[in-house]
Amino acid sequence: MCSYDETVELTPEWVESRETQMGRGQNDLIPGTFRLKKNQSNDYMVDRQMQKTQNFTGIVGVNTQDFALQEGMGPICDRSKEIPRSIRQGRGRHAAADAGGARHRAKRRHTSRSESRKLPRGAST
């Protein structure tokens, strides 16, 4: 095993304690598999008291929290039959860009009119 600092040795005990802290130690796995004991079938063993007082999820270990969020998202939706908003509205990216150009032209037209006005005789600037 290697560490960031070559002078510091990573012992198997230290690695196991770190893995356990993250929620993926040997005692956190179902024996003979890589599946966590805390899984969707048992609601990741959420600790409601811990959820009220310590962290938002109530799940021990960052890794287990990640699994809970990823597996809890549900199935991937089929979006192949959806019609994008720009097509539904009959407007594309170019229509929006043209609208921006029209605003710019109107502003330029307004500026050029105000600059071309002449002051009445006797008025000071």
* pLDDT greater than 80 at residue 119: no
Asked if 21 and 61 touch (Cβ cutoff 8 Å), the reply is yes
pLDDT at 121 (0 to 100): 78
Asked if 19 and 25 touch (Cβ cutoff 8 Å), the reply is yes
State how far the Cα of 56 lies from the Cα of 109, in Å rounded to an integer: 56
pLDDT at 97 (0 to 100): 53
- In DSSP terms, 36 is beta-bridged to 29
Q: How confident is the model at residue 98 (pLDDT cuts 50, 70, 90)?
A: low
- Please write the tens of the pLDDT for every residue from 63-92: 888 888 888 777 788 888 888 777 666 655
pLDDT at 63 (0 to 100): 85
pLDDT at 49 (0 to 100): 94
pLDDT at 46 (0 to 100): 92
Q: What is the reported pTM?
A: 0.49
